[in-house]
Structure 1
């Protein structure tokens, strides 16, 4: 083990560590000399040599497992040579078998529910069709100083140029990776449901942002029994099977009555609103609230045949202050940070019979579940989907009902 650097920093030290439980964020927890070490590229139960990559001297540090002394039976060789210490930060779990990845994610969800919401829950993460590779239909790249497109290293601005990406839709990235771009440009690549690739370049020149649509622009997607035409780089589920899986699950739990009033919050282009509209029929009403003006335009165009859907453009917490109706069902799909106290309070003031919560971050979900519990709503059902294989991300679906 190397000597400590000046001022007691562990940065650069190599530690022999027994790897403990998985933690939220794509790493596992170890402890040594009274400090916590968050270790990437390791699995629970392993003995590793880990190099400290970050130490802000706050009681914990971060490290990469650079050598495995005792391997987990769930370890495999990563399919991408860049899924390694100091290289691409796009994947977290390529060194684990797919089933083991899902078990790790289930443990993270259960731990977040227990720690942040006081809930004990057995969790199963369900695989989506298609396997762990070739699923990523939306990628944001960045050009390095030589104009080569790549992804950033973990917790770094350093760009790792790519020759390909095994988790991305096959051939979708070819044009972006084969060309040279203005250094520092960001590239948005979208592969749509019709198999077409859309490519946009975002640049900053003299402090001003500019965008150039290199290829495509309007994406075609298929879900919930409908064809969708939406802005190619607007919000849509990244995994090709996720939109259909989530729409089906939301519909099963919403069970909206004919003629009922229901809400779809953070509605995007209206995927869940379309499901709710079919349930309530023309005698009912669906309030779809979305802050993105482009998504609202797309939603209105795609759901023009559903007059029971009325759109409100604006921030959810602001729009709900002006709404005077009692919804039977509320569906919400907030951003990664969660809904927050103001939105949860507005929802429960409407006294809905059911709340269906779609979450892309288990910690944010757990915090909001705790807030709902404070207003008398309990977690009745929970499902989780492996919508982001090889990464630490996971999609959850929660059904809440009043006690």
Structure 2
């Protein structure tokens, strides 16, 4: 397993420069040295735990992949010809042509994308660069503007020479049939990757799919997850909110079996694609996975006593009723380890209170700063059941 302390070698006195720092609402901490930003985030999380009356951890460690240029996925808004993020002082989009958050590959893609003139008053775009450098764009416009875009034809033709294109909430793909554009069902392509040790695993999804924002930072996440699952040899894992499988694969590298629970059908289709296209050296992992589709935030029928590790990466709303089955088990019957990852520490702290009531104690906590210069951060926690 890697030595995570090597990720803490960032320049603590570094100040990232941005020409939009006085106006852009995207970054809240540009004027603060990077090391001080990390300490503020650790203090905020500690105060949140104090406010929830949680037993305090011995320490909160910080992991970082760098202070800038991490993002390989960008979400920008369009308003009256301006493409960017909302301003600090009013609900108006600030036109942005360069951003220190973006990886060099994504910055180049944004520069070329901005050459397109959009004849619409408002909309939103997601730009993405895959691990192999493939470009994608997801266009989200009002239905009337989508029809206008399809009828206009020239913008889409130009855009498709630059990138793979998806349109609308249903992630449809525009296809030219020789006389007009038609929209066909979503397609799964490799837009992200997970890791099994030092072996990358291609993750199939859509441009519009939820993924972590950074390929570089995500490698750190995968290494942490694998190291924690390794604490339970020959473990049986149940994963809540598996999505397209980003945490599934590092967990599988150390587990005997894994039940992946997810409500989104497209995400599970992507996970199945990824399992069917594993590198030959990892082909055996496919036989360790079962998939369960359902709204397990409301109801879960699985018997938690059949598992050794619970792995959770829930949406902002948290675990909700997913934890209810633990009530029906004695302390000794509950899984020994609970791994919880979240970018919304408020709902996480509420869930940790309940987990503490169920006999789980915090063992390790990491802040992964994959949103540098902002107030946001990812939290990874390892809890262990009290010994009976």
Name the TM-score, length of structure 2 as normaliser: 0.75
Which moves more between the two structures, 300-309 or 328-337?
300-309
Task: Pick the structure with more strand per residue.
Answer: 1
User: Which segments of structure 1 move beyond 6 Å, counting only runs of 4 or more?
Assistant: 74-77, 207-213
- Give the unaligned 5+ runs of structure 2: 1-11, 151-155, 166-188, 277-282
Alignment-derived partner of residue 315 in structure 1: 295
Would the alpha carbon gap of residues 294 and 175 (structure 1) be closer, same or farther in structure 2, given more than 3 Å must change? farther
Query: How many Å separate the matches in 2 of 1:77 and 1:389?
Result: 11
Alignment-derived partner of residue 153 in structure 1: 87
Residues 1:247 and 2:222 aligned together: yes
CA displacement 1:201-243 (0-9 Å, x = unmatched) = 1101359899988522633433312331422221221122222
Residues 1:387 and 2:339 aligned together: no
Aligned equivalent of 1:200, options 138, 145, 157? 138
Residues 1:176 and 2:88 aligned together: no
Residues 1:190 and 2:128 aligned together: yes
3-state SS of 2:287 partner? coil
3-state SS of 2:142 partner? strand
Query: How many Å separate the matches in 2 of 1:355 and 1:264?
Result: 10
Residues 1:228 and 2:202 aligned together: yes
CA displacement 1:16-39 (0-9 Å, x = unmatched) = xxxxxxxxxxxxxxxxxxxxxxxx
Query: How many Å separate the matches in 1 of 2:90 and 2:76?
Result: 14
Alignment-derived partner of residue 104 in structure 1: 40
Residues 1:82 and 2:20 aligned together: yes
The answer on whether the counterparts of 1:103 and 1:125 sit within 8 Å (CA) in structure 2 is no
The answer on whether the counterparts of 1:102 and 1:125 sit within 8 Å (CA) in structure 2 is no
Task: Pick the structure with more helix per residue.
Answer: 2
Aligned equivalent of 2:341, options 347, 358, 361? 358
The answer on whether the counterparts of 2:203 and 2:245 sit within 8 Å (CA) in structure 1 is no
Alignment-derived partner of residue 291 in structure 1: 263
The count of residues paired between Structure 1 and Structure 2 equals 322
Which moves more between the two structures, 190-199 or 314-323?
314-323
Name the TM-score, length of structure 1 as normaliser: 0.72
3-state SS of 1:343 partner? helix
Highest RCO, 1 vs 2 (Cα 8 Å, sep ≥ 6): 2
Query: How many Å separate the matches in 1 of 2:216 and 2:361?
Result: 29
